[in-house]
Structures are given as C-alpha cells and as structure tokens.
A and B are shown apart, each in its own frame.
Chain A
Amino acid sequence: MSNNVANEIKQDLTNFSPENFSKGDSLWNKAWYKFKRDAMGKTGATIVFIYLIIAIGVWFSFWGGTWSDTSDDLWVGPSLQHWFGTNVIGQDVLTRVIYSTKVAFEVGFIVAVLSTVLGAVLGALSGYYSGTWIDSLILWMMGVLDSIPFYLFVAAVAFALKGNAFAMHIAMISTFWTGTSRVIRGEVIKLKSQEFVEAARSIGVTENKIIFKHIMPNTSHILLVQSTIAFVAAIKSEVILSFLGLGVKDGVSWGLMISESTQDLLAGHFNNFASSSIFLFILVIAFNMFSDAMQDALDPKKVS
C-alpha cells in the first residue's frame, strides 16, 4: 500500500520534471499536459468530435440527406429500418436528428466565432482606453444590450430584418459578445500596465499594434474558453427560439423537432421528443465537460 503511494509520488515527480516542459514551459504546454490527465475533459472532447464528424458528414451529404422524405409508416416505434421510429407523417426520426446536428453546429460555430471576435476587439479597446469616452461608450453599449430581454431582442431583430434566415444568428452575436468583452476588458486593464507593454510603447510601437499584436495574444486562452461557452449558449438558445417560432425557419433542427413533438406527446409517442432531447443533451453536456477541463487547464489561479 505505502509502496504504491510512494510509486505514485515518484511518478508524479518524474511527470513534473523539467524535461516534460522543455519547450519553453509555456501556458499552452502546461495546459495540454493538464488536459491530457483530465478524464472528464477527454471524454467530452471525444463526444464533441464524434458529433463534429456527424455534422461534417451531413455537410458532404454522406448521410442525413433524406430528412424530409415521407413514408407510409406513420408513428412506428423503433425498428431495424427506422432506428428511432418515425413521426406523424412517416419521416425517419434518426435521419432528422442527424441532419439537425449540422444545423446546431452551424449556429454554434457562427455565433461562437463572431461573438468572440466582436467581444475581443471591443473588450480590448475598452480595456486599453479605460476611463476615456471610448470605454464609456462601449460600457454603455454592453449595459444596454444586457438590459433588453433576450427573446424580445431576437423578436425585434427578426422584425427589423423582415424574417431573414440569419436574424437569429445576428441577434445572438449582438448579445453574446458582452460577456466575453467584460472578461477581456478586465484582463487588458491588468496587462496594459505590465513591462512588455511599456517597453513596446517606449520604442514607439503604435497603439493599434500594442493592442492587437502585443496585448491581445495574451488573452487568447480566455477567448478559447469564452468561445466554447458561447457555442453551448447558442445551441441551447436555438432550441428555445425555434420552439417559439423565432429561430430556424427552413429545414429542421432539434428545436423544431421538439416543437412538433409536443403533438406526438399528446398521442403518447415519445420517440421524436426523446431522440432530439437526448442528442441535444449529450452534445451540451460533452461540451460543458470539455469547456470545464479547458478552464481548469488554462487558468493557473483557478481553485476548484
């Protein structure tokens, strides 16, 4: 027993020995090392990767292309032909669920990338110029966007864009950036008084270059974590918005499937509701696990 413990400690010590961090001992090296030891994080990442492959497969029409085909088997239960059964007009639930994966990834990816970029740029500007009118303006904008009820904002954008298919994406991007922006602003305020920034300024580097070339790369680990949070939020919002009739209009998504499944539930057919919910739940929980592990790995100060 004690021998075991001793061995473990020895193992740990060799693991943490300098040669493991030989490549400059950077934040990313250490994070990757920490992440590799996080079983939950690895499981999450694997599941997300499987979903990604499903989504890419739909993209290249390897599968899921027949999501709108109807058949004569109405409301049948799971069988070999229809793994998850069929819905009220005989569409195969599995195909629809698989096709919806692509829709979810599209929404999540577009919203996560663009809202993170927007939040990074505006947050860095407001942090670097903290105390000036630029900062006040950006802070005011964040306060305003945070105070409009989300569903109403989405509805307003949908009104203004006259039912454009990307109204939901635009509404999400224009509200999700505020969270990232607040975090980045705090970090930039901390970074801008450090020596490397002072050094850059003293040799005459322009302010734009200081903000975007010297300071911003030092916030990349925060941006990575924030983008995974935005991804999850976007997928979850899509479901509720599509249910309310404010989200995906053409095609099919998990939200639309849940929406149509409320009719099935009244008649006692659960396969439509259960499959779309479970697909959504597993992706979201895997992403949350992945995101948590990344936060643990990338934030040296975090106490958990």
Chain B
Amino acid sequence: MDILKFALRKLLGGIPLIIGVTFISFLLMVYYGPDLTWEKLGKNPTAQDIQEIRHELGYDQSFSKRYALYLKQLVTFDFGNSQVIDKKVSTILKETMPVSLHLIIPGFILGNVIAIALALFAAYHRGSWLDKLIMTGSVIGMSISFLIVIIAFQVFFCSSFGLDMFPVRGWEVYDASGAIIWSQYINYVTVPTLATVFVALGYNTRFYRAVLVEEMTKDHVRTAKAFGHTPTSLLFKSVLKNAMVPITTRVMFSIPLVVVSGSLLIESYFGIPGVGKVTYDAIIAGDQNILKAIVGLTAILFVLVLLLTDILYRVFDPRVELK
C-alpha cells in the first residue's frame, strides 16, 4: 500500500518534467518547425487548396490549442497519422518497437555485465598491471567514436575486405507469422551488438571501477578482509552489494536514451527498421507527428524509470526511505 501511494505521488511529481519536455520540443520542432504545406500540395494550388492543407496539418489553429491537442494525444496514445507515410503513428511504433528491443537488449545486457565483471576484477587488483591494462583499454574504448566503431566493424565482419561472415544491412529475422527465426536473428544481431558492447565497455568499466574502488577503501571491507573472508564473498557481498545504488542509477537512466539515441545511429547505418530508423527518417522528412510521439513517450519513459529506480534503491538498501 505504501509503495502504491509512493508510486502515485512520484508519477504526479513527474508531470512538470513531461510538460517541460513536451513544451520545449513542441515549441522548437512543431511551432517553429518545418512547414509541410508546399510538399503536400499538388501543382498550381488554389488559395482554397492551401487553406485545406493548412487546416489538415493544424497550422491554422492557435499555439495553445495545438499544444493542448498534443497533450491530449499523449494521454490517449493516439498521435494521428504520419505526415509522410500513410499510416497511423501508433501502428508504426507498434511495428518498430519490438525490432529495436530485439536489437538493443543483448548489447545492453552484455555491455553492463561484462563491464561490471571487468571493473570488479580491476578494482580487486587495483594498482597492478592487470588493472592498468583494463583501464588503458577502457580509455581507448572511450576515445573511439561510436560511428567509427560501427563502420570499422561493418567493414571487418561484413565485407569482402574482412571476414565477410555476416550480412551488411537489413533485418530479415521474422517468419511469416512474426516469430523470430533464431539462426537469422544471430546472423543479423551480432555485429551491431559487438559495436554497442565495444563502446559501452569503455565508459561503463571506468565508471563502475571508480564506484567499486570507493566502496573498497571503506572500513567495513578492511574489517571483512581482516576476518579472513574469501575474495568472492568480499567482492560480491561487501563491495558489489553496497555499490548497487550508483550502479542501478546508471543502468536505469541509460535505458530511455539508449532506446532512442543509441539505436538511431546503428539502425540508420545497418538499415534496421526500428524506432531509431523511424526517428531518423522523421527528422530528415520533418514528420512532426512521429517526432512528437517519440519525444513525448521518451519523457514518460523517463518518469517511469525515475520511479522504478527509487523502488530499486529500497530493494538494495532497506535503509532508504520511500518519500
């Protein structure tokens, strides 16, 4: 019951955030955004044709009315039709969301799990050459642009100049009924996943190591060591469990941005029809209805993540109060 009350209050508290995000993006992207009137008109339009199109696109209404309509769309999850493709925005998102999730999830999990493992290892051997090796690797990983990694991996794994083991572009992993064909899935998901993990490892390992090292220098760890606890129990019970709060924060907060920003580059480069590709195409074409939907949904996702993070804190550290 307490949790429910807390969740409700937290969700209400997220409303200013959603208003802020939607207002700024509406102002910049829609109100001052591209005018699609002329692209939708045929040749030699009459004044009435122009009027009709402007009415259809909603340009003839006042700012407050258009913004209120956006908020209503966000509440009802009905964003109308795409302005470029003849499809409902909700249908487009429903089709592309699973693709993006299938694409991201392996890389996201591996990128965090491997990074935590490496960070634990480095923190345990702090100061030794193993630690230095891992940290040098992570600085190198941080310094290579994501774009370069994607291109280089594609050349190396997918083209005849390299190993030529995986398909260059595309995403043909579903059979006629929409179920995943696993062999195809692995074929298409491997190279994007490798690229994501490579880049994520640099940043994540460094961050997790810093958190773990700080925990490791605390008195209770020294005491546990003095009492002769094994390295495993020391690392997992005394260090990792106490460091879970900053770790969860990082993992949780990267979720909303990874879903849109992370997949945008990969999807547009590998030609994978996910949310990122849709977003990229919408940016290029100025399809405001899709962009409105994506920005609004990301903001909602953020509020949910904030709530979930607070509840998770409680799980890892019972001393944290929900208030």
**Given known contacts A152-B260, A155-B283, A281 and B151 CB-to-CB distance under 8 angstroms:** no
A149 to B278 CA separation, bound complex (whole angstroms): 14
Q: Which one of A148, A268, A280 contacts B295 once the chains associate, using CB atoms below 8 Å? A: A148
Using a CB–CB cutoff of 8 Å, the interface residues on chain B facing chain A are 16-17, 20-21, 24-25, 27-29, 32-34, 139-140, 142-148, 151-152, 155, 159, 161, 213-214, 217, 256-257, 260-261, 264-265, 268, 279-280, 283-284, 286, 291, 294-295, 298-299, 302
Beta-carbon contact of A141 and B20 below 8 Å: yes
**Set of chain B residues within 8 Å of A16, measured between Cβ atoms:** none
- Say how far B59's CB is from chain A's closest CB, in angstroms: 15
**Set of chain B residues within 8 Å of A285, measured between Cβ atoms:** 139-140, 143
A153 to B151 CA separation, bound complex (whole angstroms): 24
Considering only CB atoms, which chain B residue lies closest to A174 in the complex? B24
Interface: A140 (CB within 8 A): yes
- Say how far A185's CB is from chain B's closest CB, in angstroms: 17
Main secondary structure of the interface of B (DSSP, over half): helix
4 A-B pairs with least C-beta separation: A144-B20, A285-B143, A156-B28, A160-B32
**Set of chain B residues within 8 Å of A140, measured between Cβ atoms:** 16-17, 20
**Set of chain A residues within 8 Å of B284, measured between Cβ atoms:** 245
Q: Which one of B16, B214, B256, B268 contacts A244 once the chains associate, using CB atoms below 8 Å? A: B268
- Please count the residue pairs between chain A and chain B whose beta carbons lie under 8 angstroms apart in the complex: 123
Beta-carbon contact of A147 and B28 below 8 Å: no
Beta-carbon contact of A152 and B279 below 8 Å: yes
Chain A interface extent, by class: 35 or more
Beta-carbon contact of A157 and B17 below 8 Å: no
Beta-carbon contact of A160 and B148 below 8 Å: no
Beta-carbon contact of B295 and A303 below 8 Å: no
- Say how far B26's CB is from chain A's closest CB, in angstroms: 9
Beta-carbon contact of A143 and B17 below 8 Å: yes
Interface: A214 (CB within 8 A): no
Beta-carbon contact of B145 and A156 below 8 Å: no
Beta-carbon contact of A240 and B146 below 8 Å: yes
- Say how far A40's CB is from chain B's closest CB, in angstroms: 9
**Set of chain A residues within 8 Å of B151, measured between Cβ atoms:** 258, 262, 265, 273
**Set of chain B residues within 8 Å of A147, measured between Cβ atoms:** 17, 21, 256, 298-299, 302
